[in-house]
Amino acid sequence: MSDKRIPVAILGATGNVGQRFIQLLEAHPWFRVAEVVASDRSAGKRFDEATDWRLGPDMPEHVRGLEVLDYDADIQSPIAFSGLPGEVAGEIEQRLAANGQAVLSNTSTHRMEPDVPLMIPEVNADHVAAIEAQRKNRGWKGYIVTNANCSAIHLTLALKPLYDAFGIDAVLVTTMQALSGAGYPGVPSLDSLDNVIPFISNEEEKLETESQKMLGGWSADGGFAPANFVLSAHCNRVAVRDGHMEAVSIRFKQPATPDEVIEVFESFRAKPQELGLPSAPPQPVVVRREKNRPQTNMDRDTHNGMASVVGRVRECPLLGTKFVVLGHNTIRGAAGASILNAELFKVEGLLPV
Amino acid sequence: MSDKRIPVAILGATGNVGQRFIQLLEAHPWFRVAEVVASDRSAGKRFDEATDWRLGPDMPEHVRGLEVLDYDADIQSPIAFSGLPGEVAGEIEQRLAANGQAVLSNTSTHRMEPDVPLMIPEVNADHVAAIEAQRKNRGWKGYIVTNANCSAIHLTLALKPLYDAFGIDAVLVTTMQALSGAGYPGVPSLDSLDNVIPFISNEEEKLETESQKMLGGWSADGGFAPANFVLSAHCNRVAVRDGHMEAVSIRFKQPATPDEVIEVFESFRAKPQELGLPSAPPQPVVVRREKNRPQTNMDRDTHNGMASVVGRVRECPLLGTKFVVLGHNTIRGAAGASILNAELFKVEGLLPV
Amino acid sequence: MSDKRIPVAILGATGNVGQRFIQLLEAHPWFRVAEVVASDRSAGKRFDEATDWRLGPDMPEHVRGLEVLDYDADIQSPIAFSGLPGEVAGEIEQRLAANGQAVLSNTSTHRMEPDVPLMIPEVNADHVAAIEAQRKNRGWKGYIVTNANCSAIHLTLALKPLYDAFGIDAVLVTTMQALSGAGYPGVPSLDSLDNVIPFISNEEEKLETESQKMLGGWSADGGFAPANFVLSAHCNRVAVRDGHMEAVSIRFKQPATPDEVIEVFESFRAKPQELGLPSAPPQPVVVRREKNRPQTNMDRDTHNGMASVVGRVRECPLLGTKFVVLGHNTIRGAAGASILNAELFKVEGLLPV
Amino acid sequence: MSDKRIPVAILGATGNVGQRFIQLLEAHPWFRVAEVVASDRSAGKRFDEATDWRLGPDMPEHVRGLEVLDYDADIQSPIAFSGLPGEVAGEIEQRLAANGQAVLSNTSTHRMEPDVPLMIPEVNADHVAAIEAQRKNRGWKGYIVTNANCSAIHLTLALKPLYDAFGIDAVLVTTMQALSGAGYPGVPSLDSLDNVIPFISNEEEKLETESQKMLGGWSADGGFAPANFVLSAHCNRVAVRDGHMEAVSIRFKQPATPDEVIEVFESFRAKPQELGLPSAPPQPVVVRREKNRPQTNMDRDTHNGMASVVGRVRECPLLGTKFVVLGHNTIRGAAGASILNAELFKVEGLLPV
């Protein structure tokens, strides 16, 4: 029986995000992994010989026998999911987009460019309109659409319904981020055990700018107009495997009680839920009402790691409202985000297939 | 040769804070541990039989042979350092103070009472004046002086020089606190490993109110007048043994650049430094200039755990200035704080000896 | 539609093992949780009000509304799975067994009694014959069957095929055991972080005696005859959530090469596999061939936590053969073990239904 | 005032072991760090600019201003302590030894060579006699003396008094080793958190062969004759910062009770103790009598990390005796070991000064 699913390529397939793509696509109803691309070190080998699989005991069967292609390979799949390292992503992603591929990228390289959408389907599905401008500007047959930094995605998912309901004036966020966010080998164990590192390179800048781009608007004339509020971030690395916890204080334009905030979080639904996209969580934002939840270990896998989990919604004496939000950084915060974008694009007829 | 040092009693001697008192007093030039007090479970036993020592391989020699006294014992030492559990501290500490003892307490019970000083010698040494009022109000021969919650102490030490130099309008702080802050057995390992708990019971309230009391004034007429700025706290438990890390954003009354803030931190000296108190750190606030410091594991023992260590001083797009501060929670944040208070009182002739 | 599955009671339902039973039975094809039993502290409450659920974000739906029964309750279910604390298990389990229930227990209380089977279906399914003797001896309508200590189960699963193939003379095992083995709250985080504890109360004795009972025989005349080899254990607690790692050296009666040992491990199948029991792993012992596997974090969930995972099979200069074995301590090492016993009993007509 | 202490060079000064050398020599009475040597990446820079100091908040003052020399530099100090990476150690150490330096090395390169002593002063001080042979064989003015692998040192220290008292037939040891043993960056945090890795490259071989070389003899005619017993090792990496825990089972030639074993451990003293060497622990082997000690976190710093700490001495049903031994892997297990060797050589007139 032939597999009618759309073939996809995974760029950076041997890395942390690449492996997560492969895991999440193992039984995907619409997409199948047809090509795996990695650096010269791995190229030419069978995928299972080139890769130390780190997400559970065994590599999924469906990719074991694939030959690893090098960065210059002539990719056949109409969709390329990218978890490439920043230093090589620019050239490769652009080449594929020029050739006609839909490149859905986790890499930060193109995120802030003026004609590249930075998308979360629940937040700014209308930013897809920028694709047309991008193709025209660049003369490309395909396109690049990015998803945001892992901490920005969960912050933005939590902010979106509040932004729509109450307007936002100012946000202060302090993150406690997982080790997997730094990739592999990433953080040395001697720096992680019994330690907090109050610094992650470029993370605060990404969190501040990317969130505002996603919550802002797009117009054919004016391009992207970032949301117009102040956002300040403190980013910290803590000793957890997966799951970014973020402590958020927020000043709304129009005051709201904690109960109203909870109500807005819980009633939030958007396109992915309406369309029933395969990877969409039933609720994008889940509220925990226990006084000490969400907790990283217990709650990061909520709705298969595709939800943002909020808790401790209460008054902030300074900004009006405070809460915590937790989310899985390599699922909804990375690979799952790209896949959800691709699912939306399929339904909307934006895939080159 | 007779030991001329002042005898002190340790209340709650078998617990986490009690053990830290004993460790810090092992070779103290002015004080010696003469009495150890604990609950009925331990009373009557030799201290080394009653206690599982947890601060290094061996209990200090000087307390091994002491008999553990019960809560009703007739304490002889003129000074009592208290690490008593909250549920018993009230009655015992009051009884001793009434009897003429100087009670220097870590327990939260009396901290916010209107005639009880909550002291850090570098911050509010003038609050000792409240002792007189306290004695008069209560008809006591001795007195109770408290030190603050562990996260409040380090925040307040960092805020003090800024408060004096620039004035403070508003502070937002997010803590990442150590396991030892919860005592022993405290946090179960299953709740700590690979986890962040975004809640510590009553901690945010303590951090908010105690910091303001310490930075405020005292007058014989008006009593304590808390500092008049807004303070909002998010408190989190992370998997580190000792050392509370705190991410702080701050709005000054009079704007200041990061360099000015650093200059103020580094030039900060106060009474303990001027008097050369035995436990005083040479600098109360140490500034790290590396981009990724302080780190909990590396920096918590700075100046024997008696300093607050600040880093990442930079602009905050929302409140003007942001930085992190780290401090040892059971040394400067608990037992060391009481001892430094006692050292100040000795020099100032306030001890009943 | 009525649920035709056999109703079961969970004794000690609010504890760590109790919660694992409930999780594993959530979608079980043959059994459904009908009764939950716990101490007076919880009895009378709804299960979701009485219990802090710790296995993932949300308690399974099927038990939320059950009323917690107390230890004296008149249990209706024909099967009782027990995760009771040792100090109460004896009386309760005996009462139920006397009344006619099949009691399948994780508790150590009855494990070594001369008429109580200590069972792993792949190892000593024939020990069920002792049930008849037990009923006769004790005048019971039901019976008690136990499963072993978590470290003993995985050691014994690994030893069984070797015992049959080569005979065993001597075994030396050193364990590195998970925190969840100590229950909740269990090991304090201050004792676990950055530490190894080379002692677990009674664990070495259990590991030594229980393994030998399971590998030994049963006869109506002679009762249980433990396997006749020497077994020495070193038990250690390390900072992992789940999964006991065990380093094993072994002397066979009949020498075997590492390849022969691997072949025996890999070809091992037994009754649960032949019968296709719902919880049976396709292979009881899985062999990893990578030089650095199994690893606790990656491999403990192999076959849903029901397999023992072996690796590093090599020559031991002292005893002939050495390897490591890893297994999930609260699934195959506890709740899953009892459930597999119950599944076997159902097929063999031994359940009182 | 001129510093009359002997100048020493640290080879590999920026690495983990190099930093430990510098820390231990900060206030050494006989030696001072005069030269620091590292790879081209650091050479030519000031030491404090070339090095991320990881042993506490601040680099010791005494080395801050030293210029880092490259591997080809003309070393002036008569003593060179080496923590060089294995791939460069061979050539450099040999060149210095040829030139007349006393090279005291932690690196494994020369450890098992037939004319290179592998020394622990308490164990085989007589092996210094091999130096003469080494110089003659190789035509060197100086010499190389090595210390063993970190896990071998602590095992051998514990075995030595038993070997002398009872003779040893067979030893089986399972280690639980610290992260710092793998250097920096070393083990990735994603491989360490919530995990045990039952494999350390070449570690079992080193532990087996080095221990036997140290416990064996040396004769001018026959060279080194390894101790004649069987030793089998299982080596595991666990999530602790410092401190290797080792579970040991042992068969003596002449049977001994646990009490006799404890007596032999506690009465063990050797040359370093007799000579009062500055780094010598008062007791090389310290016995803990609590049932759950030593523990890594509490006991690794016993006698400033220079002692091996033994506990749980008890009968082994298989080999006769079992116990655990814990030791600091980068102090007595590495840098401190070399320093103690140098101290012995100074007293014995073996240093080229």
Please provide the DSSP assignment of D194-214 as one string: T--B---TTHHHHHHHHHHHH
Q: How far is C270 from chain D (nearest CA, A)?
A: 28
- Say if residues B172 and B249 touch (Cβ distance below 8 Å): yes
Domain-located, residue A352: no
**Nearest chain B alpha carbon to A193:** B240
Q: Annotate A14-54 with DSSP letters as a single string.
A: TSHHHHHHHHHTTT-SSEEEEEEE--TTTTTSBHHHH----
Confidence check: pLDDT of C1 > 90? no
Altogether, the residues listed in chain D come to a count of 353
Chain B residue closest in CA terms to D299: B57
Catalytic residue chosen out of the listed positions C28, C110, C127, C150: C150
Nearest CA of chain A to the CA of D192: how many Å?
A: 6
Residue the block writes with tokens 């709705």: A303
What is the per-residue pLDDT for D298? Answer: 97
Nearest to A57 among C57, C193, C299 (CB): C299
- Any domain includes D353: no
Q: Does A351 touch chain B (CB under 8 A)?
A: no
> Exposed, middle or buried, D29 (CB in 10 Å: 0-12/13-18/19+)?
exposed
The kind and range of the H/E element at A154 are: helix A150-166
Q: Which of A57, A298, A301 sits opposite C302 (nearest CB)?
A: A57
Q: Are residues A142 and A173 in the same domain?
A: no
Please indicate, yes or no, whether residues B273 and B160 belong to a single structural domain of this protein.
Answer: yes
Contact flag D176-C170 (C-beta cutoff 8 Å): no
Same domain? For A68 and A105 the reply is: yes
The answer as to whether B1 is a domain residue is no
Beta strands in A85-182 (DSSP E): 102-105, 143-146, 168-177
The reported pLDDT for the residue numbered C314 is 98
Using CA atoms, how far apart are residues B62 and C89, in angstroms rounded to an integer? 45
- Non-local (6+) Cβ contacts of C168 within 8 A are C159, C162, C215, C227, C229, C250, C251, C252, C253
User: Do A119 and A23 belong together in one domain?
Assistant: yes
**Which entry of B150, B154, B235, B303 is annotated as an active-site residue?**
B150
Q: Please tell me which residue of chain D has the smallest CA distance to A192.
A: D189
Q: Which helix (H) or strand (E) holds D48?
A: helix D47-50
- pLDDT at residue B16, rounded to an integer: 92
Question: Å from D332 to nearest chain B CA?
Answer: 17
| Minimum distance, in Å, between the CA of residue D192 and any CA atom of chain C | 9
Asked if C193's CB is within 8 angstroms of A301's CB, the reply is no
For residue B15, what is the domain's CATH number? Answer: 3.40.50.720
Touching chains, A (3+ CB pairs < 8 A): B, C, D
Query: Is the pLDDT reported for residue D1 higher than 70?
Result: no
Q: Supply the pLDDT for residue D353.
A: 85
Same domain, C117 and C127: yes
Q: Give C289's contacts in chain A (Cβ within 8 Å).
A: none
Q: Is residue C1 part of a domain?
A: no
CA distance B276 to chain A (A): 32
Residue B192 and residue C191: Cβ atoms within 8 Å? no
Alpha-carbon distance B183 to nearest alpha carbon in chain C (angstroms) = 9
Across the interface, do D199 and C247 touch by the CB < 8 Å criterion? Answer: no
Give the C-alpha separation, C188 to D58, whole Å. 31
**Which among B195, B239, B318 has the least Cβ separation from residue A172?**
B318
A117 prior amide bond cis, ω within 30: no
How far apart are the CA of D292 and the nearest CA of chain C, in angstroms?
5
Is A16 an 8 Å CB contact of chain C? no
pLDDT of residue B3: 87
Amino acid at B187: V
Residues from chain C that touch A298, judged by Cβ atoms under 8 A, are: 54, 56-57
B179 touches chain C (CB under 8 A): yes
Structural domain harbouring D324: 150-328
Rounded mean pLDDT, C98-127: 97
Q: Which of B28, B127, B154, B244 is catalytic?
A: B244
CATH number for C212: 3.30.360.10
Q: Do D195 and C231 touch (CB under 8 A)?
A: no
Question: Using CB atoms, which residue from C194, C288, C299 is nearest to A194?
Answer: C194
Over range D41-49, report the average pLDDT: 96
Residue C248 lies in a domain: yes
d(CA B147, CA B151): 11
Same domain, A210 and A343: no
A195 touches chain D (CB under 8 A): no
- One digit per residue, the tens of pLDDT, for chain A of length 353 reads 578 999 999 999 999 999 999 999 999 999 999 999 999 999 999 999 999 999 999 999 999 999 999 999 999 999 999 999 999 999 999 999 999 999 999 999 999 999 999 999 999 999 999 999 999 999 999 999 999 999 999 999 999 999 999 999 999 999 999 999 999 999 999 999 999 999 999 999 999 999 999 999 999 999 999 999 999 999 999 999 999 999 999 999 999 999 999 999 999 999 999 999 999 999 999 999 999 999 999 999 999 999 999 999 999 999 999 999 999 999 999 999 999 999 999 999 999 98
Cross-strand bridge partners of residue B9: B35, B80
> What is the reported pLDDT for B1?
55
Per-residue model confidence (pLDDT) at position C12:
97
Report if residue A12 sits inside a domain: yes
d(CA B252, CA C312): 62
Which positions in chain D touch A179 (Cβ < 8 Å)?
189-190, 193
* Per-residue pLDDT at C172 exceeds 80: yes
Is the CB of residue D222 less than 8 Å away from at least one CB of chain A? no
Q: Give the chain C residue whose CA is nearest to the CA of A293.
A: C57
Q: For residue C150, indicate whether it is catalytic.
A: yes
Q: A197 to chain B: which residues are within 8 Å by CB?
A: 292, 295
Per CB-CB distance under 8 Å, the chain D contacts of C194 are: 239-241, 296-297
**C352 is a domain residue:** no
Enumerate residues 230 to 289 of chain C having a beta carbon within 8 A of any beta carbon in chain B: 239-241
* The amino acid at D282: P
The answer on pLDDT for D148 being more than 80 is yes
pLDDT tens digits for chain B (353 residues)? 578 999 999 999 999 999 999 999 999 999 999 999 999 999 999 999 999 999 999 999 999 999 999 999 999 999 999 999 999 999 999 999 999 999 999 999 999 999 999 999 999 999 999 999 999 999 999 999 999 999 999 999 999 999 999 999 999 999 999 999 999 999 999 999 999 999 999 999 999 999 999 999 999 999 999 999 999 999 999 999 999 999 999 999 999 999 999 999 999 999 999 999 999 999 999 999 999 999 999 999 999 999 999 999 999 999 999 999 999 999 999 999 999 999 999 999 999 98
Strand A223-225 to A230-237 pairing: unpaired
Searching chain B, which residue's CA lies closest to the CA of residue D56? B298
Of C28, C127, C244, C303, which one is the catalytic site residue?
A: C244
- Contact list, C184 vs chain B (CB under 8 Å): 188, 190
A353 within domain boundaries? no
* Å between C282 CA and nearest CA of chain A: 15
Instruction: Give the mean model confidence (pLDDT) for residues C266-276.
Output: 98
- Asked if residue D181 and residue D64 are part of one domain, the reply reads no
Question: By 3-state DSSP, what share of chain D in percent is helix, strand and coil, each rounded to 5?
Answer: 35, 25, 40
Beta strand C102-105 with C143-146: parallel, antiparallel or unpaired? parallel
Q: Burial level of A140, CB count in 10 A (0-12/13-18/19+)?
A: buried
Minimal C-alpha gap between C343 and chain B (Å) = 30
Q: How many domains does chain D have?
A: 2
CB contact under 8 A, A299 and C54: no
Q: Which residue does chain C place closest to D238, by CA atoms?
A: C238
Residues D114 and D243 in one domain: no
Annotated catalytic residue within D150, D154, D235, D303: D150
pLDDT at C349 over 60: yes
Q: CA angle at residue D271 from D265 to D275, to 5 degrees?
A: 125
CB–CB contact B189 C192 (8 Å): yes
Q: Which residues of A are catalytic?
A: 150, 244
Touching A: B residues 319-348, CB under 8 Å? 319, 322, 324, 326
Across the interface, whether the CB atoms of C57 and A298 are under 8 A apart is answered yes
| Residue B223 CB neighbours (<10 A) | 12
A189 touches chain B (CB under 8 A): no
- Tallying the residues shown for chain A, one arrives at 353
Residues D166 and D112 in one domain: no
B195 touches chain C (CB under 8 A): no
A23 CB within 8 Å of a chain C CB: no
Residues A173 and A315 in one domain: yes
Averaged pLDDT, D284-290: 97
Query: Which chains have at least 3 CB atom pairs separated by less than 8 Å from chain D?
Result: A, B, C
- Rounded to whole angstroms, the Cα distance separating A152 from A160 reads 12
- For residues A238 and A145, state if they share a domain: no
B-chain residues near D309 (CB < 8 A): 57
Question: Cβ contacts (< 8 Å) between B194 and chain C: which residues?
Answer: 241
- The predicted structure's pLDDT at residue B2: 77
Which pLDDT belongs to residue C9?
98
Q: Quick one: which H or E segment has residue C102? A: strand C102-105
Amino acid identity of D237? Answer: R
Separation of alpha carbons C346 and D12, rounded Å: 66
SS3 state at D113: coil
Q: Within this chain, do residues B163 and B254 fall inside the same structural domain, yes or no?
A: yes
Cα nearest neighbour of A320 on chain B:
B232
